[in-house]
Amino acid sequence: MVQVYDDRRFLGEDAQALAKIILTGDTGERWVKETEVFSEMMIRKMGITQDTVLLDYGAGIGRIAKSLIEKTNCSVIGVDISPDMLRESFSYVAHPNFTSMSLNKFQFLVNAGKLNVDAAYSIWALQHCDFEPAYQTIVKALPQGAPFFIANTLNRCIPVIPSGWADDGINIRRRLRDDFELTQDVTDTLSQHLPTDHQNRVFCEFMKKA
């Protein structure tokens, strides 16, 4: 059977339903703790200040963006393929330093030279994407030397019709080394804050664009 990307998997009626999709049901303690630990570490390691403009690739409803903005007064542009995630992100983040837009709009603005960012991050998102266009969007938006943070599963999890998740064999961790220099592998430190069944299935790395 030919498997086709199922983009309906990231649709939901409201923020509560979408949050369940984002952390596969772990919307309570994990949502709060993981968001806090990730954003604190990103601020320190990426040098995020009120002057920083960040791309949040696969932003969801803006869980991480909200925390970064509240802590530093930075600015974040969220990009996502899900119209429902984009819609709910405005009311969830609810801050004038946040905006979100479709993947097509963001790609258009970057390609036209009308938009670039100082830094980027992508959390539990690239694992699900049509990889190369998603990845090139991040690479093109960043200037040389810009910081990038990723948290991702080691294996690919592409949502496919009629159900389930497929692995197309792309090794994202290795692919990143073509364009980014690793600055710190924080997998062990951050994994401690994840559910035990995630701990040997993910990687979390800080890097800068080569």
Ligand X SMILES: C[S@@+](CC[C@H](N)C(=O)[O-])C[C@H]1O[C@@H](n2cnc3c(N)ncnc32)[C@H](O)[C@@H]1O
For ligand X, the binding residues (CB under 6 A) are 10, 22, 58-60, 63-64, 79-82, 85, 103, 123-125, 128-130, 134
Do residues 203 and 195 lie in contact, with contact meaning Cβ atoms separated by under 8 Å? no
**Least spacing, CB of residue 103 vs ligand X, in Å:** 5
Q: Based on CB atoms, which residue is closest to ligand X, 63 or 144?
A: 63
State in angstroms the smallest separation of the CB of 180 from ligand X.
18
With CB atoms as reference, the residue minimizing the distance to ligand X is 60
Smallest gap from residue 34 Cβ to ligand X (A): 8
d(CA 34, CA 190): 8
At residue 148, φ and ψ (nearest 5 deg) are: -140, 135
Q: How far apart are CA 152 and CA 133, in angstroms?
A: 17
64 or 194: CB nearest ligand X: 64
Nearest to 209 by CA among 110, 121, 112: 121
Q: Select 72 or 152, whichever has its Cβ closest to ligand X.
A: 152
CB of 193 to ligand X, least distance (A): 13
Closest CA to 81 of 153, 146, 145, 129: 129
**Which of 103, 186 has the CB closer to ligand X?**
103
At 130 the three-state DSSP class reads: coil
